[in-house]
Amino acid sequence: MKLPDSVVFDFRLKTAYRFAMGQLRRILRPDYAQKLSLLAAIPLILAVAAIAAIVAYQSRVLAEREVQSLEHQLLEAKKAELRNYVTQARNGFYFIYGLAAPDDDLAKTEVAQILAAMIYGTEGSFFVYDYDGMNLVNPRRTGLIGNDLSGLTDSAGTPIVDELINLARQGSGYHTFLWPKPSTGEEALMVAYVLGLQDWRWAVGTGVFIDDVLATVASARAEVENRVRTTFIYIGVITLLALFIVFVSGMLLNIRERRLADAKLKELTQRVFDAQEEERGRVARELHDGISQILVGVRYTLDNARRRLGRDDQKGALPPLDKGIENLGTAITEVRRISRDLRPGVLDDLGLGPAVKALADDFRERTGIDTDFATVVFRNRLDQDSKTALYRIAQEALTNIERHSGATKVTIDLRGHKTGATLRISDNGRGLVTGSERDKAGLGLRNMQERIEQLDGTLRILSSRGADSGTVIEARVPLSHLLPPEDAGVTQLEAKA
């Protein structure tokens, strides 16, 4: 049966929506590795942003200097050009002006005609104003000739004629203002140079439009902005590549670390299982070889006593009963020993010192190895984790000494000091193997190391291969694992390191 197209479309739409929401949730709720990658990327982003801002600022400052220098050079070239125009025009009529009297109208008319004829380019011409503001020559705008233009300003409010006359009275000068272009009739920025003819009270000058200069400067600024924008694009691309590399590297490292962690976790799990199986095997062996055989002997003696009592041999039944009672006492002792090995009650009741002393005494009695134990009064100030770890380290060390060292003397020293507490166990046995062989010596040393690392402590093993070279195992826990004294009178451990 074929489903309708609308149902298929709704199903696809819902599937796409669920996928998009799932991706969004992953982005909004990053996992630990993604958080690490983001945390590593933040300094990079901040550094790149700072570099980009500095580069942009320096680029703009340098470019603005170059643009201003270009603008200044172009304007100076225009001004020099204007000055040359006015100088050439003055040289063209100076033979008339130099010989004429201040009221020689004929000479003035002749000079005005010469200036009116001096038209250059599509926009250039000369102008003449008398000091009263009357326009005398203006070939591009003849409608202004004969008009009093004093007080004339451009659209921006800049005085034109009055400023030109003022510069002419001072001898010469440049003035910038807006003036209609003859070709378009629209206002454009003009730079004018004016020269004063003091005998006739004339202001003679010419001007050029500098919109080409402004266009060149604007083009230069646009090019600068383009370069800055291109630089930002390059920086952005480099940043994205760097972030991508950081992200990929972080992911690869995370995958590698996760695989290593998984492998270590599997190894640790297997070691835990092996330790559990080894401990179960040890307890099973002790139950079978010790308590089981003792109980079998008790059963045999009780059965023997029962048979004798059945024959009314009460006197003969007493020795088997006494033997059975003795064997039961031995079984009870074995049960207590096994229980103490699993978890000594004295460790919880009296503290680490008495527990290690009991362990040393039992080791001496069981093995016949001369064992000395020295300690200070701890007042049970170690926390529970430290007591358990140090006790297990001592237990593991004594087990290794019994099985492998062949030692005849063992010294155990337990003391507190200003930086924490130290358990030191030394023997005069054969010593441990060195290098890579020591790493393969079994779970014992690794268990010691892992227990002490859980407490942020240190474990030192000093040993060399050879007869009577001995081994020293030193476990140290930091001061943070010592509990504060219960009363004000006890302020420190009663011993010096």
Is residue 67 within 8 A of residue 216, CB to CB? The reply is: no
* DSSP per-residue codes, 416-474: EETTEEEEEEEE-SS----THHHHTS-HHHHHHHHHHHHTT-EEEEEE-SSTT--EEEE
Question: Does position 491 have pLDDT exceeding 80, yes or no?
Answer: no
Q: What is the pLDDT of residues 205-243, one digit of tens each?
A: 999 988 888 888 888 888 888 888 888 788 888 878 877
* Separation CA 123–CA 322 (nearest Å): 142
All structural domains of the chain, each given as residue ranges with its CATH number in brackets, are: 121-209 (3.30.450.20), 345-481 (3.30.565.10)
Distances (CA, A) of 136 to 127, 162, 205, 454, 477: 7, 15, 12, 104, 107
* Separation CA 222–CA 218 (nearest Å): 6
Q: Give the chain's mean pLDDT.
A: 79
pLDDT-derived band of residue 195, with 50, 70 and 90 as boundaries?
very high
pLDDT-derived band of residue 495, with 50, 70 and 90 as boundaries?
very low
Q: How many residues does the chain have?
A: 497
pTM for this model (two decimals):
0.44
Q: What is the pLDDT of residues 10-48, one digit of tens each?
A: 666 667 767 666 655 655 565 666 666 667 677 777 887
